[in-house]
Amino acid sequence: MLLAPSILSADFSQLKNEVDKIREADLIHVDVMDGHFVPNISFGAAVMKSLCGKTNLPFDVHLMIENPDKYLEDFVTDQTQYICVHQETCPHLDRTLKHIKEQGVKAAVALNPSTPLTMIEEVLSQVDMVLIMSVNPGFGGQKFIESSVEKVRKLDDIRREKGYDFLIEVDGGVNLDNAPLLIDAGTDILVAGSAVFKANNIEETVKAFKKHTR
Ligand code: DX5
Ligand code: ZN
């Protein structure tokens, strides 16, 4: 089980210090928002790249942007492990996933809470990870949508039935209380923004998550 704290909830004025505190996590979740696909603007590739070499954790890039094909190469670095695009932004999803893989990066696809799993059925054999959004994307600190647990369970069933090997990531409103439920349903990667970076003690919170995930 892997923990991916989202730097969206970190103190941007001291990003390097903030990532130092999550050393015991597994990935850094990078939330990129364009103010079009989602009603908020976060940061772009330059901010992510400023962390290259400043942390050992790989980047888990979550592109909440329209026309991701146009920008995804900007996010390819030695530290980039996953690039995730939203199904809702990709009319030619098969091509976009291939484009990501051509960069030597793992390809992932995200689904909004209202998008059914059937929308990605045809590409499940070629993705390295599926991100199930458990809030409507756009902001950190929102309330977890409970029906996401069932969606994860369904996806885990499909994975088992078909023998696929993608990982399942859950993003939005994840905290120490709902983590066990999500893990039980089949989640491999937990994204946590405010639960980690707004905690009184960030290091201890990361440890507490990792205990849950064992
Ligand atoms: C939401 C982002 C999430 C967000 C998670 O649009 O994709 O990654 O930062 O933040 P929390 O954990 O606070 O919901
Ligand atoms: Zn995210």
Task: Please give the positions annotated as active site.
Answer: 31, 171
What pLDDT, in 10s, does the model give residues 22-68?
999 999 999 999 999 999 999 999 999 999 999 999 999 999 999 99
Nearest atom within ligand 1 for CA of residue 138: 6
Confidence of residue 87 (pLDDT cuts 50, 70, 90): very high
- Minimum CA distance residue for ligand 1 atom 1: 137
Instruction: State the pTM of this model.
Output: 0.98
DSSP structure string for the chain: -EEEEBGGGS-GGGHHHHHHTTTTSS-EEEEEEBSSSSS-B---HHHHHTTTTT-SSPEEEEEE-SSGGGTGGGG--TTEEEEEEEGGG-TTHHHHHHHHHHTTSEEEEEE-TTS-GGGGGGGGGG-SEEEEESS-TT-SSPPP-TTHHHHHHHHHHHHHHHT---EEEEESS--TTTHHHHHHHT-SEEEESHHHHTSS-HHHHHHHHHHHT-
CA angle 155, 34, 37 (to 5 degrees): 50
pLDDT on residue 60: 99
C-alpha of residue 84 to centroid of ligand 2, in Å: 9
Task: Summarize pLDDT for 107-158 with one digit per residue, the tens.
Answer: 999 999 999 999 999 999 999 999 999 999 999 999 999 999 999 999 999 9
Pocket lining for ligand 1, CB < 6 angstroms? 6, 8-9, 29, 31, 62, 135, 137-138, 140-142, 171-174, 191-195
Distance from Cα 161 to the centre of ligand 1, integer Å: 30
**Taking all residues of the chain, what is their mean pLDDT, rounded to a whole number?**
97
Look at residue 213 and tell me whether its pLDDT is greater than 70.
Answer: no
Q: How many CA atoms lie within 13 A of 23 on its CB side?
A: 6
pLDDT in the model for residue 212:
83
Q: Does pLDDT of 91 surpass 90?
A: yes
Residue 214 confidence (pLDDT) above 60? no
Q: Which atom of ligand 1 is nearest to the CA of 38?
A: 6
